[in-house]
A and B are shown apart, each in its own frame.
Chain A
């Protein structure tokens, strides 16, 4: 099958690659770019383990062709920490509040929560629950994930206020 030339920006890095037209974005990320943080849990866009941020929106990368991401800016869990290695408040909060167990949903969950907080910096518990309802977790029962996202939101807004 003829391959397509794809250019995109992933975690701030310019990437060029060849991919079959039918290649899924998740496979491009995981297998061509060795970004194995996003996972495959269902192939049918139900579980959200493959969630990445594409042009400022949460997408399930198992249901996006790599070709559709041509020219896009993508953020995955691997790009969440600051350049100096400082973890994102969400990453800190998930550990602090025991928001993960087996870790398989975590990259997608944190990436989704990142976008949620971009869209709503002060979400209520109900808004958080609705906001992550496209991401399944089989271990935690969500309670501590919700707590972690709430705590991260507070920390982000506190540090913003301090900066202002």
Chain B
């Protein structure tokens, strides 16, 4: 078929652009074992690093004996704080404005903290040497609880901060205090609460969990002493930021540092931060002159790199007797562990927790967050969510249910009465956000109708009667959650990390034969960027996605960007991709006009070509234009067809969704079976429905893990209790139910293609849906709130506390 007779529809299909269930280009290598992850890297002469870690949660280091280790054949070096101090590298800046010990200096502050870094010829020898290093400790009282940390006579944890009354985020009011962050109108909220017809109050704890990607963190650092160039391959969710940080810390000029993120085996927030392993590997490579590899094992991963949550929230929600919410107050005690190593935008020490008014039209609200130090691992990362958004969503979704119980209202009905109406968008929230777009009632109604909510409640009523008659030992629970996310950080005016504005970028080169390469400042960890960003571009510039290579993760070739986390890739880099594509198209239009000898205003875009208005048989395809760009451009125009866009988003995007979980709780065992889970997501324009669904499945499964079993708990001595996969719950295919997905589409008005981001929504909305369902199962027996994780033991304890089991 010739171009002339091929329909626009057929040509559109060929592009595999926006909205296509395009198969992933990444899969050919992954399904054949040809992925290239950091531990697959093997360089000549490469050494291996391994850590000696603290056995104690809080102790003074009296001595470190490393002679025996150094005497072991194959051991090349042992680094301790003593070696790093003269280089001023024993502390490193965190992304949150604090400092973190690279190797413990005199004191250890959490179990698993890095004390010494052994460098040896292979990983077995390195592990042997770790065993030979003797650390003598003087144990100190450990604090495993954020409330106890703030007691007046609590032990001082951070000796290095003594006397510092001012932190990165203002006044410190106690020696273990990091910051207070306040948003909203305190007086108006207090007065609304005081005059409210009904007030519900609840303490809601979101336990400490861990992103636990299947691949742990690691790197290979290689210093070329001849030309002074440092190359670091690593599991970096933000390679460009790592380059800048590495330059600032090491003093190596930034142009001599190359950071490469190869294939990454999942990130979920775990791989955003800068860890001691990276610094030690770099130092070791500089010292030894050969490449040094460091790969953490699973226990180290769960013990030391980047926990999430540990938010202790107290909420008060005011309403009228009819259930119209009139005010919300929240105080959070945020356990940050031993160092403040959150990865939040600088101005937001509690991330975007102020999205905690959720999807509801709440006139006034007030939020305070106190960050505190404890003897636990540092972190507080965004585990498959935008910064602290899962915490916020869990908080409000539980609070609304708690209020519903108090008012004897159905959880779906109370949501309906309070959801922000379509005509209120763009909506200004009481805590300062401008929600870009939404059609919440439509989404809720569709969800309730699809699951036959009324029918489910009727079934539950019968179940409860049967339970009361002793005919069953199972209780049915229905959890409703309506979440609003805030993703796509973010506008430079309020979002930066270490002073780096949170824009993102795309650079496109169109080749003479009409294919192209696009490079971005982000980095995929499984999201399928090479597939989806090519789709965005295909629709913008009319080149089939199959003919567009997408490349990320090499700071020498990719334009600067802030990386991939917080669902920011599509909202920010995706926007940059569309904008760079539009620059390409604008130049292509001028070239086409020149070739067709018409004014460029006389041309119109038609899928993959420019045609003359009113004379559609006269056209130039993008392939023809691409070739002409290299030999026949209009006089005065530069040859070539390339563009770059650095996109500073005007606002965040606000994906939302309505989820319903149905569970059956067996009261005698506490076993909770997920009978059904329905997820309706609205992520704006849908780029690749297949990938969106896959993301929703994955996010819901992570939510299932969090809600039903995950916890990193510490005992009173500072021992971390759940740091292997035996104790830390990751759902298998057996516990994971079949997910039902659905959608509505409300495009973002400010994003070039209307997309909002989706990867993290299912985690944000999922956790509260599960938790609401478990709580709902016992609601008729007087239960108001029971804490996560809802594992068998805790659920059984709840049943026991209600007198259901003896």
Contact = CB atoms under 8 A, between A and B. Distances in A.
B266 A139 contact: yes
A46 B724 contact: yes
Nearest to A43: B297
B26 A103 contact: yes
Interface string A70-108: 000000111011000001000100111010111111110
A143 B697 contact: yes
B27 interface: yes
B24 interface: yes
A98 B726 contact: no
Contacts of A159: none
Contact of A102 (B212, B215, B297, B738): B215
Contacts of B93: none
Nearest to A49: B214
Nearest to B736: A142
B733 A129 contact: yes
A144 interface: yes
Nearest to A81: B32
A95 B527 CA distance: 14
Given A39-B39, A101-B526, A143 B30 contact: no
B265 A104 contact: yes
A28 interface: no
Interface stretch (B183-191, B311-319, B401-409, B698-706): B698-706
A140 B31 contact: no
B34 interface: yes
B266 to A, nearest CB: 4
A104 B297 contact: no
B528 interface: yes
Given A106-B30, A143-B739, A146-B733, A39 B215 contact: yes
A20 interface: yes
B40 interface: yes
Contacts of B538: none
Contact of B31 (A34, A39, A94, A144): A94
A96 B726 contact: no
A133 B733 CA distance: 5
Contacts, number: 179
Interface in B52-93: none
A91 B23 CA distance: 13
A140 to B, nearest CB: 5
Contacts of A59: none
Interface string B721-743: 00011100010111010110000
A103 B733 contact: no
Contacts of B155: none
Contacts of A47: 214, 298, 725, 730
B691 interface: yes
Contacts of B263: 102-103
Nearest to B732: A133
Interface string B679-710: 00000000000110111011111100000000
B23 A95 contact: yes
Contacts of B39: 30, 36, 39-40
B702 A138 contact: yes
Contacts of A38: 33
A146 B266 CA distance: 20
Contacts of A103: 26-27, 29-31, 35, 263, 265, 526
A102 B264 contact: yes
Contact of A142 (B28, B29, B266, B733): B733
Contacts of B37: 36, 39, 104
Given A43-B297, A139-B526, A145 B725 contact: no
Interface range, A side: 35 or more
B425 interface: no
A95 B31 contact: yes
Contacts of A49: 214
A15 interface: no
A3 interface: no
B268 A138 contact: yes
A145 B733 contact: yes
A67 interface: no
Nearest to B524: A102
B521 to A, nearest CB: 20
Nearest to B264: A102
Nearest to A104: B265
B266 A87 contact: no
B725 A91 contact: no
Contact of A91 (B32, B693, B695, B739): B32
Nearest to B705: A138
B298 A138 contact: no
B32 A80 contact: yes
Contact of A43 (B34, B298, B697, B738): B298
A31 B42 contact: yes
Contacts of A145: 733
B461 to A, nearest CB: 30
B525 interface: yes
B49 to A, nearest CB: 16
A77 B733 CA distance: 21
A4 interface: no
A77 B33 contact: yes
A37 B701 contact: no
B726 A44 contact: yes
Contacts of A31: 42
A80 B725 CA distance: 28
B19 interface: no
B167 interface: no
A128 interface: yes
A77 B725 CA distance: 24
Nearest to A107: B33
B33 A141 contact: no
Given A44-B298, A44-B724, A138 B213 contact: yes
Interface string B204-227: 000000001111100000000000
Given A22-B124, A44-B724, A96-B23, A138 B32 contact: no
29 contacts: A22-B124, A36-B40, A38-B33, A39-B214, A40-B39, A40-B295, A42-B297, A43-B299, A47-B725, A49-B214, A76-B33, A78-B32, A80-B32, A91-B31, A91-B32, A94-B31, A96-B23, A98-B24, A103-B31, A104-B265, A105-B214, A107-B33, A136-B725, A138-B212, A139-B526, A140-B694, A140-B697, A141-B736, A142-B701
Closest 6 CB pairs of A and B: A37-B33, A102-B526, A104-B265, A103-B30, A141-B697, A77-B33
Given A43-B298, A100-B31, A142-B736, 14 more contacts: A30-B40, A36-B39, A39-B39, A41-B215, A78-B33, A81-B32, A103-B29, A104-B35, A129-B736, A130-B733, A140-B697, A141-B739, A143-B736, A145-B733
